[in-house]
A and B are shown apart, each in its own frame.
Chain A
Amino acid sequence: MLLEIENLSKSFGGLKAVSNLNIEIREGELIGLIGPNGAGKTTVFNLLTGVYDPTEGKMLFQGKDVSGLKPYQVTHRGMARTFQNIRLFGDLSVIDNVKIAFHQHAKYSTLSAILRMPGYFSGEEEMEQKALELLEVFHLQGKAREIAKNLPYGEQRRLEIARALAAKPKLLLLDEPAAGMNPQETHELMELIRWIREHFQITILLIEHDMSLVMGVCERIYVLDYGIVIAHGNPAEIKSNPKVIEAYLGEEAI
């Protein structure tokens, strides 16, 4: 079991954003977390990545408790995320965005950098190589020296995923990767996500609004409404689940 979330709850004052959440993810799975607006999906991500501390419950990643860790410590443990509203290092070049995520695996010290010791040159060379390789995978190698904020929207989304992968995670968390994309781009993204899993051999948990994407790509789906898991199963089961239809379309639709 890669990730086990047990009875996780988070309250903001009187509001229970997430209550008694139980999620289990095995290695290599592609899991979707869906739900209407305000259901608490992003809160789950923020709990997982240490942005918020849980009010109750446990989160075991590779058997170890990760609650209470700082976001960068969670990333060091092997979880990396993207953001719903893209958060790139906008004024830096595309390649520097990726290199920053490589930083935790950097092989030379501050002293070695200041004295420009051999370790600095080999370390920088290696980072440059790996960053270019990763950008090539995402068809961004031609834009490596461009400023990140000048990229078109779709490429910014791809760069954010590339950057998250540079942190070498075991579990990749994608927060609404298809937000703002047209159906054609969404379809390409679906292919990309499948391909990433095969190529990098990682586990993916994705939050999504776009039902076609989730249904097309995920093996198992958790449906969240008002902070509670109302359904859980494979796409076919979720599609026919009356509770899900009610949550999305309202009671009368049934």
Chain B
Amino acid sequence: MIVSKWLNRKNVFVLLGATLFYAVIQGSILTDILPPFYKLNLILICIYIILATSLNLINGITGQFSIGHAGFMAIGAYLSAIITAKLHGPLALGLLVGALVAAAVGFLVGLPTLRLKGDYLAIATLGVGEVVRIVFLNTEYVGGAAGFTLSSKITWSWSFWLMVLSIVVMHNLINSTHGRACISVRENEIAAEAMGINTTKYKVLAFTFGAFFAGLAGGIYANYMYIIQPMTFSFLKSFDILVMVVLGGLGSLTGSIFGAIFMTVISALLAGFPEWRMVITASLLVVMMVFRPIGLMGTKEFSLNFLGKKGERNVT
């Protein structure tokens, strides 16, 4: 019964497509056809998709302007790295603890800061992100500014399926009455309150979920990259993620996915000309803001509705 509702035509199509894509890449990795540079970027794309979609949950869906995402990513990265490298725990445990601690910090930080609006919230979250980074910078146990090394345990399979899982969770949350409650906060906070929505609760909920997935992405990042350093998680990283979300369209899950892919590919293509990278991405953004300020997708979703929808309706 319930399985037939899950496996409507659209979901089956998406699942098959994802599995096919996964299999092709996995096959070419196993047969050594895929150059390592491509593999690196594919895994980076997975990480950035999780980061961008989770920031979209806060900034796009709930309409709270947060720019401290790298801070939650750092918490997930350091916690999971400590568990896998220093305590020799299993990778899955490391990722889970990293994400849960990031979520807990997100919850504790969200309660007071989400009373702020607009620019004030942006500055507060920026500050939180920097505080997290500076705490790790000054902790001898994790190597201070030099960071510490760990073995690379993340494979293509881990990063791809964790990304799929994250997207499914966020999609299911957004397309439910709880997701609509978050969207109502973005649309009109006064009306949302008057209609019986506990706006504080849903802001904190979105913030906590966003922090959870940022922590997960951080864990994947740390356990893939051999080394983690505080500089990786500076506010520039937060801006990178924000740019992906804005480029894709605030409020669009598929937009954030496009944004993450697009920006990672651009960075990879320009890897040979680091001095031009910032110039070109910045110009792209300016052009984007002039000609399409709502982002690639606006708040709309890329949809496969032409395949016939059964069982599930798109509510956003």
Residues of A within 8 A of B187 (CB): 89-92
Q: How far is the CB of B27 from chain A (nearest CB, A)?
A: 31
> B26 on the interface (CB 8 Å rule)?
no
If the complex has contacts A72-B198, A87-B188, A89-B191, are A124 and B1 also in contact, measured as CB distance less than 8 A? no
Given A88-B188, A90-B188: A100 in contact with B197 (beta carbons within 8 A) = yes
B190 in the interface (beta carbon within 8 A): yes
User: Is B194 engaged at the interface, CB distance under 8 Å to the other chain?
Assistant: yes
Using a CB-CB cutoff of 8 Å, which residues 79-136 of chain A contact chain B? 80-81, 83, 87-92, 96, 99-104, 106, 108, 110, 113-118, 120-121, 123-124, 127-128
Question: Contact at A113–B180, with CB atoms within 8 Å?
Answer: no
Specify the chain A residue showing the minimal Cβ separation from B193.
Answer: A71
Query: Cβ of A49 < 8 Å from any Cβ of B?
Result: yes
Chain B: minimal CB distance from A63 (Å): 21
Q: Is B5 an interface residue (CB 8 A)?
A: yes
Question: Chain A nearest CB: distance from B165 CB in Å?
Answer: 11
Nearest-neighbour CB distance to chain B for A132, whole angstroms, equals 12
Proximity string of chain A (60-84) to chain B, C-beta cutoff 8 Å, 1 when within and 0 when not? 0000000000111001100011010
Any chain B CB within 8 A of the CB of A163? yes
**CB < 8 Å: which of B2, B181, B194, B299 contacts A103?**
B181
Q: Is the CB of A70 within 8 A of B196?
A: no
Q: Which residues of A contact B177 (CB under 8 A)?
A: 99, 102-103, 106, 108, 113, 123-124, 127
Interface size of A by CB at 8 A reads: 42
A118 and B198 form a contact (CB under 8 A) = no
Contact assessment for A113 and B172 in the assembled complex, using a CB-CB cutoff below 8 Å: yes
A104 with B196, Cβ < 8 A, contacts A114-B172, A121-B5 known: yes
A19 to B264, CA, bound (A): 62
List of A residues within 8 angstroms of B285 by Cβ: none
- Mark each residue of chain B from 175 to 201: 1 if its CB lies under 8 Å from any CB of chain A, else 0: 011111101100110111111111100
- The answer to whether B194 and A117 have CB atoms under 8 Å apart is no
Complex Cα–Cα for A207 and B169 (A): 45
Q: What B residues does A81 contact at CB under 8 A? A: 194
Pick the contact of A100 from B184, B311, B313 — CB < 8 Å? B184
Q: Which one, A75, A87, A120, contacts B196 given CB within 8 A?
A: A75
Q: How far is the CB of A84 from chain B (nearest CB, A)?
A: 12
A167 sits at the interface (CB 8 A)? yes
Q: How far is the CB of A250 from chain B (nearest CB, A)?
A: 35
Q: Are A167 and B196 in contact (CB under 8 A)?
A: yes
Q: Which residues in A have their C-beta under 8 angstroms from that of B2?
A: 116-118, 121
Q: How far is the CB of B189 from chain A (nearest CB, A)?
A: 10
Given A75-B196, A103-B196: A89 and B176 interface contact (C-beta under 8 Å): no
Nearest opposing residue in chain A for B172, CB measure: A114
Q: Total interface residues on B, using CB and 8 Å?
A: 32
Q: Shortest beta-carbon distance, A15 to chain B, in Å?
A: 22
Across the interface, do A103 and B176 meet the contact criterion of CB distance under 8 Å? no
Q: Which of B1, B173, B315 contacts A114 (CB 8 A)?
A: B173
Q: How far, in whole Å, are A49 and B187 apart by their CA atoms in the complex?
A: 20
Residues of B within 8 A of A75 (CB): 193-196
Chain A, residue nearest B168 (CB): A114
List, in ascending order, chain B residues with CB within 8 A of A166's CB: 195
Contact of B176 among A71, A80, A90, A120 (CB under 8 A): A120
Pair B6/A103 contact, Cβ less than 8 Å: no
A213: min CB distance to chain B, Å: 22
Residues of B near A87 (CB, < 8 A) are 188, 190-191, 194
Do A118 and B191 touch across chains, with their CB atoms under 8 A apart? no
Contact with A along B25-50 (1 / 0, CB 8 A): 00000000000000000000000000
A106 to B195, CA, bound (A): 13
Contacts of A91 in B (CB 8 A): 187, 299
For residue A123, which residues in chain B have a CB less than 8 angstroms away from its CB?
A: 177
Return chain B residues, CB-CB under 8 Å to A104.
Answer: 195-197
A49 and B194 form a contact (CB under 8 A)? yes
Add 8 more A-B contacts to A81-B194, A110-B173, A127-B177 (CB < 8 A).
A51-B190, A92-B184, A96-B315, A108-B177, A113-B176, A114-B176, A124-B313, A167-B196
Interface set of A (CB-CB < 8 Å, partner B):
49, 51, 70-72, 75-76, 80-81, 83, 87-92, 96, 99-104, 106, 108, 110, 113-118, 120-121, 123-124, 127-128, 163-164, 166-167
